[in-house]
Amino acid sequence: MDLARFAIEKRLISALATILILFGGYFAYTALPRFEDPEFIIRTAQIVTPYPGASAEEVADEVTEVVENALQQLAGVKEVKSISMSGRSQVTVEFTIASTKNRDQLAQKFTQMRAKVSDVQGSLPPNALTSQIFDDYGDVYALYFAITGEGYSLSEIYEYGKDLQRELVIVEGVSKVVLSGVQNEVIFVEYEPARLIELGLAPTQVAGLLEGQNLVTPAGSLSAGPARLTVRAPAAVDSIAAIENLVLVNPQNGASYRLRDIATVRRGYEDPPTSMLFRNGKPAIGLGISNNIGGNVVNMGDKVKARMDALISERPIGIEIETISDQSSSVRASVNDFVMNVVLALAIVVGTLLVFMGLRSGLLMGGILLVTVAGTLLGMYFYGLDMQRISLGALIIALGMLVDNAIVVVEGTLVRVQKGEDPAPASIAVVNQTKWPLLGGTIVGFLAFSPIGFSPDNTGEYAGSLFWTVSIALLFSWLVAIWLTPYFCTLLLKPGKADEKGENFILRGYRRFLHLAIRIRWVTIAIVVGLFVSAVAMFSMVPPGFFPASTRTQFVVDYFLPEGADIELTRQHMTEISEHARSLPGVTGTNTTVGGGHLRFMLTYEAGDPSSAYGQILVDVEEYRQIADLIPQMQNWIDERFPAGNAKVWKFLLGPGGGAKIEARFYGPDAIVLRELAGAAKEVMAEKGAIAIKDDWEAMRPVIRPVINIENARRLGLSQGDILTAVNGHLVGTQIGIYREAEELRPIVMRPFGRARDDAAKLQDVQIFSNSAGAYVPIAQVVDRFELVFENSRLRRFDRSLAITAQSDPPQGMLSGDLFEAVRGPVDAMTLPPGYWMTWEGEYGSSSEANEGLAATMPIGIGAMVVVVLLLFNAIRQPLIIWLTVPLALIGVIWGLALSGTALEFMAILGILSLAGMLIKNAIVLIDETDSQIGAGKERMRAVIDAAVSRVRPVSLGVLTTVLGVIPLLWDPFFKSLAVVIICGLSFATLLTLIVVPVLYTVFFRISPGADAEVPAE
């Protein structure tokens, strides 16, 4: 079908189609979901199995091994990793992208996983508790608030948080509302051990009493006339006073006592707490709100805030809700910034066209560009894409490329019109002559991005929308060029008299220079090869990288004490660190967690493992540029103030990644040998100036080990379990019942007063109640001594292999790539015992995985591009010429990156791929024009030069609009490296292409330059 003729002849349909596309684009712009980062699926689940009292080794052998074995039987498993800690097994399973391409398939895998884990519960040791499965591991809480209250207890703040949770979970667009930093309230029954022994009472007697008093038990029903009445008693224990008034009877002598006579009953919080949250030093409850999958986080945020404003009258005076992270606001600002960048790029492109093509042609190109952008947005909407940093960046990248096809059509039409031809037949003729080469160039253009679109890894999924957005944009630009552009040409280009004006001085100069380059063709080729070799030699000056730092106005302080540290000590250190942070200029607030990390408030954030020795601070700042100065100040102060701790102060990344920059992971069967290897690697890292040096097993922790006299214990009717239960009851307490209070079930814990619990010497005074003897037995009769030993606090395994990772980060001012190169040689040179091996993880590992993903799909993308070019020319020599020019892009790329000090990041690699497509497209148009002129009978040498001259303006305008269009991205950290690649690479390579392609054409087709006389313009 001749779309150009149809568009001109059916003018009303063309006008209507234009209007519909513009309105459709506006609708898509308002309706497209908005996010900060692309939505990619977290294909990870955690299985947590408590095993109270077990060492890390016992947990690994008896629990973790069983769960791992079950998970490895599942199909589509990418990795199984585990942490075996004292009393707890944590196994994480990740599925491959190929086996879980969408959320429905992932849900099926999770169902299979639950069945497998359920099947092995019977194989766990008797004292192990039921495994808990967390398959919402990847939920992102786009809105994250801290609820504080001056003069309110944490339980009162929690009660208000629950009320707010019930109100917000029903807001449209909200998926889940969770509370964090909650410290469970406990009813403590505290006693003096000596008093209980004196009275001959045991905690189990109190437990039995409470259980009988507080059980919910059916009492039946009876018939009363036409009705049937249920018998139901109220709770016998409905207050603290009721617990205090419970009566205990000593079965030995019949004496009775009220509980208040032998113990103190009080409310308190779980001791020790497992996690704590502070906002600016004040205790807080975290409120995390996630949005529905595919929902618009901006709209959800607006509705949640509107509902919170409506409920402000019900908020108790003194309760404050402060923002920790608000993705709806950051997304709105990010989208607005990107829209401004798009508008700026659009203005630059249109302004460039107005300058170089004249008023009518410039306005024509501006209108075409506007229609193409609107159609692209509409295509994104129908394809299910969303607006986030990747897709919006892709729009800016594509903006300059969108006009390439239309420029060829408009330029060709303009040339014919200037020669006196009517715009309608002129545009139809140009479209029919160029539509297939333009289609081939368009396909090659978006195929250059295909490696990232089909990359089978997380990075590919994160940045994959780049390929689909560019593909939609370029295909629609081709459709507009061959369909609506001829119609627009008839509106704005008016026929005139034939214009015989010759070439301007630029074209005349180019013609002379090209003729000279062809005449000394081998010198020209040698110069180009020399430039290429110089670029390769300069490659070592290009800094390596993966993803850049974020512009988020927050940075992070991770702080570790030696494993086993009391959480109260960790809290004290974190309080002092956060106070110091708030005293620094530019800092506006701190958000501190103790005992673990924050909720996942952004997709690329992953909290640290729970530990009493770990804390994290999110430090809010006025402006992200201040972070570079604040990080070394914080790092140095913490290192000097807390030499026993290990701190890492870091910035968020734009993209997947995170964690330690340098990681050397050692595998092997023996934990002692692995610790030695990791220690040697950490020594190398310290010698090379690294900071935050640690390993992921942490230091071995001290443990008190009672040496039990088995014979004495048996003689007294005691087992090892009885002895350890008594010690646990003395130190931690014994849960003796449940106190029902509204919807809360609060444990009642009986334990000695703190002065008896916290003194290690008091362990010798522990009394063990023997049911067989009906009396207390001193622990000294069954425990010979208490030993202090050291054991592993945690053991990690990756795919069933024991592994330890030595970790570090570069100091401020040092690139991670430079530190890695300094560390890599000595660590690689380490002699590993048989059965042990090492891999590099961290930034190098993540980058290698991403590059491997690109490498896996790159042959397909390049192969498809080769096939398209071969089909387009139905020949060998023309495609060979084109592909020989592609490496020329590296000359400008390497020089640009090296001279600007820009790192070769992942996005820069994508820029190099896109360059290939742009250069091939330009070369296709140039060679096709040359073939057409030779086919029309023109002398071959003249055809080569005339074709090159005729392509100078459309090629230069296409390159100029692309280069100028991406200039706004130079100020965006995420796209800066890509922008440098396109600006430097495309500019330099296009200049060479306009020379090298004609030169190579004359070489491959054996076209002699003839005499020294120049080829004049016709």
- Percent of the chain at pLDDT above 70? 96
pLDDT at site 388: 82
HSE (side-chain half, CA atoms, 13 Å) at 794:
25
| Residue pair 199/252 in contact by the 8 Å Cβ criterion | no
| Rounded mean pLDDT, 179-184 | 91
Domain(s) labelled CATH 3.30.2090.10 in the chain stretch across: 202-215+237-261+702-792
| Residue pair 817/543 in contact by the 8 Å Cβ criterion | yes
Q: In whole angstroms, what is the distance from residue 259 CA to residue 267 CA? A: 15
**Higher-pLDDT residue of 456, 621:** 621
Question: What is 43-137's CATH topology?
Answer: Alpha-Beta Plaits (3.30.70)
Domain(s) labelled CATH 3.30.70.1430 in the chain stretch across: 43-137
For domain 506-541+875-1011, say whether CATH 1.20.1640.10 is its number: yes
Give the angle 492-495-496 at the CA atoms, nearest 5°. 125
Q: In whole angstroms, what is the distance from residue 134 CA to residue 531 CA? A: 56
**Higher-pLDDT residue of 989, 118:** 118
As given in the structure block, the two tokens for residue 849 are: 């995985």
Lowest mean pLDDT among 129-143, 187-201, 394-408, 689-703: 394-408
| Rounded mean pLDDT, 839-851 | 82
| Rounded mean pLDDT, 57-80 | 93
**Higher-pLDDT residue of 993, 305:** 305
Per-residue pLDDT of 707-731, as tens digits, reads 988 888 888 888 888 888 888 888 8
What residues have CB less than 8 Å from 121, skipping those under 6 apart? 130, 131
Secondary structure of 854-888 as H, E, C letters: HHHHHHHHHHHHHHHHHHHHCCCHHHHHHHHHHHH
Domain(s) labelled CATH 1.20.1640.10 in the chain stretch across: 1-31+358-494, 506-541+875-1011
H-helix or E-strand spanning residue 747: strand 744-752
Please give the C-alpha separations between residue 931 and each of 113, 326, 444, 875, 998, in angstroms, as whole numbers.
61, 58, 19, 11, 11
As given in the structure block, the two tokens for residue 742 are: 């509204």
Does the structure show a pLDDT above 70 at 658? no
| Rounded mean pLDDT, 847-874 | 82
Radius of gyration of the chain (CA): 36
Tokens 């630029």 correspond to 506
Give the angle 359-363-365 at the CA atoms, nearest 5°. 120
| Rounded mean pLDDT, 641-649 | 90
pLDDT at site 1011: 41
pLDDT at site 962: 79
Question: What is 202-215+237-261+702-792's CATH topology?
Answer: 3.30.2090
Whole-model pTM: value is 0.79
Please give the C-alpha separations between residue 879 and each of 238, 779, 869, in angstroms, as whole numbers.
86, 88, 6
Lowest mean pLDDT among 382-386, 507-511, 513-517, 542-546: 542-546
The CATH classification number of 1-31+358-494 equals: 1.20.1640.10
pLDDT at site 411: 78
pLDDT at site 586: 92
Per-residue pLDDT of 968-998, as tens digits, reads 778 877 788 888 988 888 888 788 778 999 9
Average pLDDT, the chain: 86
Burial class (CB in 10 A: 0-12, 13-18, 19+), 935: exposed
815 phi, psi to nearest 5 deg: -75, 145
Q: In whole angstroms, what is the distance from residue 751 CA to residue 203 CA? A: 9
pLDDT category of residue 163 using cuts at 50, 70 and 90: very high
| Rounded mean pLDDT, 634-651 | 90
| Residue pair 283/276 in contact by the 8 Å Cβ criterion | yes
pLDDT at site 657: 57
Does the structure show a pLDDT above 90 at 733? no
| Rounded mean pLDDT, 789-810 | 91
* Strand, helix or coil for residue 615: strand
H-helix or E-strand spanning residue 812: none
pLDDT category of residue 94 using cuts at 50, 70 and 90: very high
**Higher-pLDDT residue of 93, 763:** 93
Q: Is there a cis peptide before residue 273, judged by omega within 30 degrees of 0?
A: no
H-helix or E-strand spanning residue 270: none
Lowest mean pLDDT among 196-200, 474-478, 655-659, 976-980: 655-659
DSSP per residue over 585-636, as a string?
A: TTEEEEEEEESS-----STT--PPPP-TTEEEEEEEES-GGGHHHHHHHHHH
pLDDT category of residue 354 using cuts at 50, 70 and 90: confident
Lowest mean pLDDT among 249-258, 616-625, 776-785, 940-949: 249-258
Per-residue pLDDT of 590-614, as tens digits, reads 999 999 999 988 877 778 788 899 9
318: alpha, beta or left? (left if phi > 0; alpha if psi -120 to 50): left
As given in the structure block, the two tokens for residue 152 are: 């309110």
pLDDT at site 1013: 40
Pairing between β-strand 143-149 and β-strand 44-50 as defined by DSSP bridges: unpaired
As given in the structure block, the two tokens for residue 724 are: 């350890």
* Strand, helix or coil for residue 104: helix
Residue 552 CB neighbours (<10 A): 20
pLDDT at site 1012: 40
Per-residue pLDDT of 389-431, as tens digits, reads 788 878 877 776 777 788 888 878 887 887 778 888 888 998 8
**Higher-pLDDT residue of 761, 285:** 285
pLDDT category of residue 889 using cuts at 50, 70 and 90: confident
| Rounded mean pLDDT, 38-50 | 87
